[in-house]
Amino acid sequence: MLSIKNLKVKVEDKLILKGVNLNVKAGEIHAIMGPNGSGKSTLANVLAGREGYEIIEGEIIYKGLNLLDIAPEERAREGIFLAFQYPVEIPGISNATLLKTALNEIRKHRGEPELDAMEFMELMKEKMKLVEMDINLINRPVNQGFSGGEKKRNEIFQLAMLEPKLAILDETDSGLDIDALKIVANGVNMIKKQIQDKAIILVTHYQRLLNYITPDYVHVMYDGKIVKSGSKELALELEEKGYDWIKNGKNY
């Protein structure tokens, strides 16, 4: 589904990604872990198409498409979804308006008919239950005045609504208390169960989210590269030994 080859990316003249390789197949969950500043979020943002990143070398092939050639909105319509580390507050646009516009754009792209107001409402209610989101939030401006937990939950709610093929969760677990974390994890697991032709990339600093979502692969990023890959046990090992273990290992 996704193949990243030797990706090198500069931000403001500083080389951040120094040759990332990653292969993700449908049905897989990959966790990308690593200390702060290792390039995890840069990778997530490059996948979603954020501007301000200079691609020096390498390629990203997603479902046969050269991802770096297409705009963020086209990527989204092709099934890529980024759950933001810092979800953006948008005064003046309601959650409902955002989702209705987004969903219909994506459906149009897939050649499906647009949803009418009733169908949309039903779908929203169903998905809100999934993430235990307060129905009143739906007519509130996007993320405005939401608590940290509500914002992250809203990301997962959007994920559930838009049903992407490749979901990238950028530090979705950070800033969540344990209950919110469980809800987010449940949401992700439900989605995973429902559709088998999907893949999920979890970008996280901590191991704790992986107590609730079991990854098929764990990758450790350090200094702009994936320096170690393994099964879910790698996450536990990291938790035990800390990132210094990786850093030191690199220095040997």
Partner 1 sequence: MQEIIKIDYPVKESLKNLFDSYNCELNNLNSFVADYKRNVYELFKSQTFPTLKDEGWRYTNISSLVNLKLSFPDYKTHDGDIYYQNDYLNIDSYKIIFYNGKYLKRFSTIEELIKKNLIVFSSIAEELKNPSDEFKKYFASLVDNTRIFNSINSIFFEDGYFIKIKEGVQLQKPLLAIYLYGNQNSPFISPIRNILIAENNSKADIIEASFNIDDSIVFENNIVEYFGYEGSEINFIKLQQNNKESFHYSDLIAEINANAKFKGYVFTFGSQITRNEAELKLNGEYASGHLYGLFIAKGKTIIDNHTQMSHIKPNCESNQLYKGILFDRSRGVFRGRIRVEKNAQKTNAYQSNKNLLMSEFATINSKPQLEIFADDVKCTHGATVGQIDENALFYLRTRGIDKENARSMLILAFANDAIENLYNENLKEQLRTIIFKELSK
List of residues contacting partner 1 (CB under 8 A): 48-51, 71-73, 75-77, 80-82, 84, 87-93, 97-99, 101-103, 105-106, 109, 141-142, 158, 162
Let me know: does 98 contact 142? Beta carbons within 8 Å: yes
Which residue(s) pair with 15 in the sheet?
10
Instruction: Give the closest residue to 207 by CA, choosing from 251, 243, 180, 158.
Output: 243
3-class DSSP state of 50: coil
3-class DSSP state of 121: helix
Residue closer to partner 1 by CB (options 50, 241) is 50
Residue closer to partner 1 by CB (options 51, 233) is 51
Instruction: Give the closest residue to 83 by CA, choosing from 153, 15, 136, 5.
Output: 153
Residue closer to partner 1 by CB (options 159, 213) is 159
Instruction: Give the CA angle between residues 185, 190, 191 to the nearest 5°.
Output: 100
Minimum CB separation of residue 83 from partner 1 in Å reads 10
Instruction: Give the closest residue to 138 by CA, choosing from 118, 152, 158, 119.
Output: 158
Minimum CB separation of residue 93 from partner 1 in Å reads 5
Residue closer to partner 1 by CB (options 162, 234) is 162
Minimum CB separation of residue 215 from partner 1 in Å reads 23
| Distance, CA of 64 to CA of 208 (rounded, Å) | 34
Residue closer to partner 1 by CB (options 57, 89) is 89
Residue closer to partner 1 by CB (options 21, 144) is 144
Run of H or E residues at 230: strand 225-230
| Residue 138 CA, distance from chain mean position | 22
Sequence-ordered list of residues with C-beta below 8 angstroms from that of 171, at least 6 positions apart, any chain = 40, 41, 85, 203, 204, 205
